[in-house]
Structure 1
């Protein structure tokens, strides 16, 4: 029996039996059982029913606000009901639709406007944070408005309402998972240098794919001020690598990882050169731990760093606001679809 603790409430147990895997995910009193061993799953259900009072709801359709739709083409995860309930609570069901969740080249800062109701703002942003579990397209916008939860202003509130207006146009949009015949780990990382107007810290963004399906993404302001674009990109690269290693270890434990190097795409040639060329390391003492960390995995041939043009960088939407054309293009490449939209 294997064991993995994800957080305080969410626990995953997994068991290997003759190269087969059974997974039991527990969140408080909600349980998901999955795997490729039907006999083991039936036995596990029987044992659980003897120890606890449980109810088998059949194939997974709804879990913690996440809706699961299946077809021969794959599985779609969405939070349509959650979005509609959120719009209803905020009185935004009849609002005008926004093409993107945040304005391109926005100038939000801590002094943007007059103070607003903090409690109402925090409740709305908190619900949007949970929605990010299936909506990577709003992750950057939510990360921006969540920075001001301690002292929200009118422009912050307007930016939050814009996210709702964007959701109104596609409440059923979700992630599409389909079989591509591989379980390779591939990541994209990006950084927007000195983007925060409050403290000039950069924003890191990454997204990780397993077998061509998006499984992890993040948009986060860096903990320290970067003195150059290359430094900001390098820190984003290290953050992405940490997530990819965690996913790789999980796949190894589940006997799903094939021995092949992970691939990380970056649009900064300077950051890639620093990672590959030890001669330049004396110029990067301020990011010494990150450079040793990345170089170690390159030397072990467990990581391949590759350059990608900025126009093809999928992590772009996790570090900055984009135009509607670029936004829709990236969402399509991320595997986001709306099965509820009329064809």
Structure 2
């Protein structure tokens, strides 16, 4: 028996190491290049940001002629490819993917233009991936955010969270909340509740991998939501909130979740909930160690 050489690919992800500086990169640049070729975007002009506020994606076509005109567009295939690219190595795609995936059944020209814009973004960031730093000890650090009532179809809010270990993201999510929040504070509190459930799973996983983990640090930019989670005060503003979201109070009291206030400008989950400026988007990528591999 003998030791085997270091893996260069796993589950479709390409691995690059620099042992002298104890760094490791994960990417899917080979897969992304194939996706761009498949949808004739290999020579497209790259862009630096995913979606812009001027895209009115909530508008679906009403005219039968326009609906039939979109039947031959490979929208579902393109969205599926983008979803696969997002998993494991590209948290920067999460918010855009959730937006474009809502219109699979009734898409318009604007929706297809949005997909092509995401592909143009991938053209300019094909080499991007996750960077992890070797550490003797480390713990899970998470960021959570929400965007209040920005879904124009049903006025539901968006939850976004990302968990990091060894400096890089290990899991992330951008998803519409399943009930309508009645205030910004409630939307943030519901996002905390969802992130807390994920924290329990992540905590169990890293413990099995031999990482010494105390309470998970959960960073949020809403002081009101943090106050509500730490202080079990019952009043008229919160009595309607579903009990499932109050689980976080128990986790905070037991020390399994350590809530920390973070300034909005330093909240890496901000890009998972809304369209942000190019400067903020780039800063979020830097916070999460999403770099060129």
TM-score (norm 2): 0.91
Tell me by how many angstroms 1:224 deviates: 1.0
Asked whether the equivalents of residues 263 and 306 of structure 1 are also in contact (C-alpha less than 8 Å), the reply is: yes
> Partners of 1:210 and 1:281 in 2: how far apart?
37
1:174 aligns with 2:121: no
1:76 aligns with 2:32: no
Aligned to 1:234: 189
Tell me by how many angstroms 1:242 deviates: 1.1
Aligned to 1:8: none
- Give the structure, 1 or 2, with the largest relative contact order (CA under 8 Å, sep 6 or more): 2
Gaps of 5+ in 1: 1-38, 43-55
Tell me by how many angstroms 1:63 deviates: 2.8
Asked whether the equivalents of residues 51 and 275 of structure 2 are also in contact (C-alpha less than 8 Å), the reply is: yes
* Paired residues for 1:1-343 under 5 Å: 58-72=5-19, 73=21, 74-104=23-53, 106-111=55-60, 114-115=66-67, 116-117=70-71, 120-133=74-87, 134-258=89-213, 260-280=214-234, 283-339=237-293
Tell me by how many angstroms 1:106 deviates: 4.1
> Partners of 1:273 and 1:279 in 2: how far apart?
9
Tell me by how many angstroms 1:250 deviates: 1.2
Say which one has the larger Rg.
1
Tell me by how many angstroms 1:194 deviates: 0.5
> Partners of 1:263 and 1:302 in 2: how far apart?
9
Asked whether the equivalents of residues 180 and 211 of structure 1 are also in contact (C-alpha less than 8 Å), the reply is: yes
Corresponding residue SS for 1:285: coil
TM-score (norm 1): 0.78
Asked whether the equivalents of residues 110 and 148 of structure 1 are also in contact (C-alpha less than 8 Å), the reply is: no
Gaps of 5+ in 2: none
Which whole-Å deviations, capped at 9, do the CAs of 1:50-94 have from their partners, x for residues lacking one? xxxxxx8x4321233311111123111101111111111111111
Aligned residues: 285
Tell me by how many angstroms 1:315 deviates: 0.3
Which whole-Å deviations, capped at 9, do the CAs of 1:121-161 have from their partners, x for residues lacking one? 00010010000021111111011101111222111110000
**CA RMSD for the aligned pairs?**
2.0
